[in-house]
């Protein structure tokens, strides 16, 4: 998409991932009710549907339907009916919850959402990189764009949905998505057999210290296999070496073309999320579950809330009048995911320090229980009981 760009917009959204797309669609839907629609430019440095999207593509079914105005059936690769947890010595524990999640085709979802944003009036221009966002001056920020076009765009509101680490607004009093950034690697793998409706998660230092390894099916033939390493272990266990070892030990028959890298900002969301008409959303604001590392729905929710708050402040001139709307954005986020993520963040350090023997002991106990009686809380509590000192350390989750 390469819509001609103007030099002035009400909203410039940087990044057309889940956060930016939902922000653009949210403003577009509001525009349908307005006499003077807001003008919106949605920028991305690449085509946001370029494969492979750096992701394992699992989301909760209910969450997706709650946030996205229209979920296309074609986005769903496979339903998820449960999780197989695998302990360091290979003991498997199956948690069944039919229909609880879906594996999605993110590339197609991004494409369809960008088309919706465009139909709702946004100018979508991809393969254009935002390289700087100026301070707020005379009611505008200036976004510098470089790439196939070079342009300076004035914006009344900027939404930074550019993922982890771009750093727009650095030096201003605003959160950054650069806190507890963890390395992740994945590969699209064929030649394996696996249950297609179950995701597999491997916990233990011999797989992925401080994080976990996974196999998430794309279909019967191709699976997304990857791992994320806890930041504090990243030096002693480089992700590429951990991935090579994991594949060699666990899936020696796998056919792997390429490894793809990623970074997951797994901290918690700091305050404020907005200042002087610059809003942060999604990974750019650390909106990621610190232990599961899920961030798709979180980014969508962040983008939606940022867009709503942006529409509230755009007509206001004084910063003090805007502050309550920035706070409402943060409290909306806290209600949706932020408070839960903070609790998980507090339990993360002890979780990362769980020893392999503890996971094995818990898995041995759970493996004796009939699968229909396994619940997530039973898995969690059995793991805690395997090392009672964990109960106190992880009390924020109880
Ligand atoms: C390997 C891996 C597996 C994952 N698996 C899952 C999973 O199974 N489930 C889940 O919920 N989450 C998962 N996540 C996390 C999830 O992918 C992210 O949290 C989510 O994509 C965040 O969305 P976002 O819109 O904030 O950022 P992004 O998806 O990163 O989108 C940002 C967009 O901004 C563009 N951009 C960046 N800089 C600029 C710039 N300067 N100018 C213009 N455009 C720019 C990028 O090209 C990109 O399209 C995974 C992450 C990784 C790395």
Going by alpha carbons, the residue nearest to atom 17 of ligand 1 is: 55
Q: Which of 1, 45, 165, 306 to mutate to test the pocket of ligand 1 (most atoms within 8 A of CB)?
A: 45
What is the domain class of 58-104+181-265+354-397 according to CATH?
A: alpha beta
Q: Is 28 in the pocket of ligand 1 (CB under 6 A)?
A: no
Q: Which residues of 225-250 are buried (b: 16+ CB within 10 A; e: fewer)?
A: bbbbbbbebbeebebeebbebbbeeb
The pLDDT confidence band at residue 66, using thresholds 50, 70 and 90, is very high
pLDDT at 339 (0 to 100): 94
pLDDT digits (tens, 9 = 90+) for 290-320: 999 999 999 999 999 999 999 999 999 899 9
pLDDT at 388 (0 to 100): 65
Is it the case that residue 266 has pLDDT exceeding 70?
yes
Residue 2, Cα to own-chain centre: how many angstroms? Answer: 26
Task: Answer positive or negative: Cα dihedral of 356, 358, 359, 361.
Answer: positive
The pLDDT confidence band at residue 397, using thresholds 50, 70 and 90, is low
pLDDT at 178 (0 to 100): 79
Q: Is 215 in the pocket of ligand 1 (CB under 6 A)?
A: no
Considering the segment(s) 8-52+107-179+267-348 as one domain, its CATH architecture is 3-Layer(bba) Sandwich (3.50)
Give strand pairing partners of 228: 184, 212
Extract the tokens encoding 55: 């992701």
Comparing 13-27, 280-294, 347-361, the range with the smallest average pLDDT is 347-361
Q: What letter would DSSP give residue 394?
A: T
Mean pLDDT of 239-265: 94
Cα distance between residue 287 and residue 304, in whole Å: 13
Is it the case that residue 386 has pLDDT exceeding 80?
no
pLDDT digits (tens, 9 = 90+) for 345-382: 988 888 888 899 988 998 888 888 887 787 777 776 77
Task: Answer positive or negative: Cα dihedral of 158, 271, 301, 341.
Answer: positive
Mean pLDDT of 11-26: 98
Q: Which of 2, 13, 18 to mutate to test the pocket of ligand 1 (most atoms within 8 A of CB)?
A: 18
Domain segments of the chain as ranges: 8-52+107-179+267-348, 58-104+181-265+354-397
Q: Is 217 in the pocket of ligand 1 (CB under 6 A)?
A: no
């Amino acid at each position: 998409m390469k819509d001609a760009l103007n030099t002035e917009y009400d909203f410039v959204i940087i990044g057309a991932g889940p956060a930016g797309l939902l922000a653009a669609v949210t403003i577009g839907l509001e525009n349908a009710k307005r006499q003077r629609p807001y003008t919106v430019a949605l920028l991305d440095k690449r085509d946001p549907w370029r494969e492979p999207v750096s992701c394992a593509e699992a989301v909760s079914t209910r969450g997706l339907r709650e946030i996205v105005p229209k979920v296309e059936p074609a986005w769903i690769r496979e339903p998820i009916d449960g999780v197989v947890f695998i302990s360091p010595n290979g003991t498997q524990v199956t948690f069944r919850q039919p229909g609880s999640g879906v594996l999605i085709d993110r590339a197609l979802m991004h494409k369809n959402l960008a088309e919706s944003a465009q139909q709702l009036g946004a100018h979508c221009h991809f393969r254009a990189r935002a390289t700087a966002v100026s301070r707020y001056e005379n009611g505008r920020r200036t976004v510098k764009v470089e790439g196939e076009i070079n342009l300076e765009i004035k914006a009344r509101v900027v939404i930074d949905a550019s993922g982890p680490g771009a750093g727009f607004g650095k030096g201003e009093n605003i959160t950054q998505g650069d806190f507890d950034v963890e390395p992740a690697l994945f590969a699209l793998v064929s030649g394996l057999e696996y249950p297609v409706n179950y995701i597999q998660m491997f916990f233990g230092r011999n797989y992925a210290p401080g994080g976990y390894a996974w196999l998430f099916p794309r279909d019967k033939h191709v699976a997304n296999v990857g791992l994320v390493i806890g930041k504090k272990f990243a030096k002693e266990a480089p992700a590429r070496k951990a991935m090579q070892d994991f594949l060699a030990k666990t899936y020696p028959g796998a056919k792997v073309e390429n490894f793809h890298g990623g970074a997951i900002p797994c901290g918690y969301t700091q305050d404020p999320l907005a200042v002087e008409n610059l809003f942060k959303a999604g990974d750019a604001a650390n909106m990621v579950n610190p232990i599961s590392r899920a961030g798709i729905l979180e980014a969508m929710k962040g983008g939606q809330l940022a867009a709503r708050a942006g529409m509230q402040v755009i007509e206001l001139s004084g910063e003090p009048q805007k502050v309550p709307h920035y706070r409402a954005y943060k409290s909306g986020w806290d209600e949706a995911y932020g408070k839960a993520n903070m609790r998980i963040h507090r339990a993360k350090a002890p979780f990362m320090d769980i020893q392999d023997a503890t996971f094995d002991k818990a898995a041995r106990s759970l493996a004796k229980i009939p699968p229909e009686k396994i619940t997530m809380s039973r898995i969690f509590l059995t793991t805690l009981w395997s090392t009672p000192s964990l109960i106190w350390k992880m009390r924020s989750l109880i």
